[in-house]
Amino acid sequence: MAAPSHAAKRLNAELRALGWQTDRIPVESKTLDLIGLHARMTNAKATAAIAMLDSHEGIEVWVMDDVGMVVSQEHFESDARPELIAVRTVERLRAYRISVATREAPRSKRKAARVRKPEPQHSDLEAPAAPPPGHPKADILGAVELTGGLAVGWAPGGLSPTGQLRLGGSWLPFQWLAADLVVLLPIVPASTDAEKGESDVHLALAGIALRWLGGTNQSWVRPSIGAGIGALVARLRGYSKDAQFDSDRDWLACAMPFVEGGVVFRVTRHLRVVSSLMVGVGLPRIVIAYVGPDTSIGKPMLTGTLGVQLELP
């Protein structure tokens, strides 16, 4: 902890008075290294950590749980009394531990806690189950996520693989449901080849989807599956192999319903790695016709994506 000595000493005294074993770790940096602090907690087998940092206008106090999540963050003015800082921080830590104990208690014990008579002192099960201010609730509503990554598309109907840039955004009205905006932009065109000519095909997609997410927002790995519909736009540039035919350019478009499955890996509270596979069908199908066999984009189009996701705020 890096803080004025009086506040740090008073906080240490309050924690020891409650029977908690403490270990003070001096930190020279004025910024909080969450990953480094969590690593130290793991080595010390600590169940919680409190960081007190000097700021330009006072003291910032952070409380972290045993999985590296920040459960509380509070700012104190520079003239705040050390006793106030220590007591408020300890109460936030106690409230978080009480809420965890309440959620994990067996159903029978919860019922018993509701019916038994009040005692002079509060027990853990009688305390309110609501998390303290600043705690990342398990059922965060209205979260917004931004996604970016690289995608590879392929249509078995005759197109070669194509490289695309995937961008998107998600809104989560519930922790298990996401409304997605999906945009695919061409980077490397697909190509077709026939006896009389060949074409470069740039494919772009803009669509919306609904997606179900397994687990919770605190899970390290979350599977997902969804369905949606979009507009597929193809820009074609043809090259004739026969002097009797002309090269040409054209734009084609169609609707594309699609389904998508994927996995989300949480790196930090706000940063995730995402991978997915999309299967879509163009309606009506786009056909590139030559003097000879046709090439179709109407058959299932497969798109695999690997990217990163940022949760706001």
DSSP string, 193-228: E-SSEEEEEEEEEEEEEEEEE-S-TT-SEEEEEEEE
pLDDT at position 159: 78
Alpha carbon distance 266, 272 (integer Å): 4
pLDDT at position 82: 85
Domains of the chain: 5-104 (3.40.50), 143-312 (2.40.160.20)
pLDDT at position 109: 52
- 117 DSSP 8-state letter: P
Verdict on whether the full-model pTM lies above 0.75: no
Alpha carbon distance 162, 301 (integer Å): 11
Best CA proximity match to 142, nearest among 170, 122, 171, 121: 171
Report the chain (313 residues): mean pLDDT per 10 consecutive residues: 65 81 70 73 80 78 79 81 85 80 60 52 45 46 85 82 95 92 95 77 95 88 96 88 74 94 92 95 78 62 94 82
Under DSSP, is residue 8 helix (H, G, I), strand (E, B) or coil?
helix
pLDDT at position 137: 44
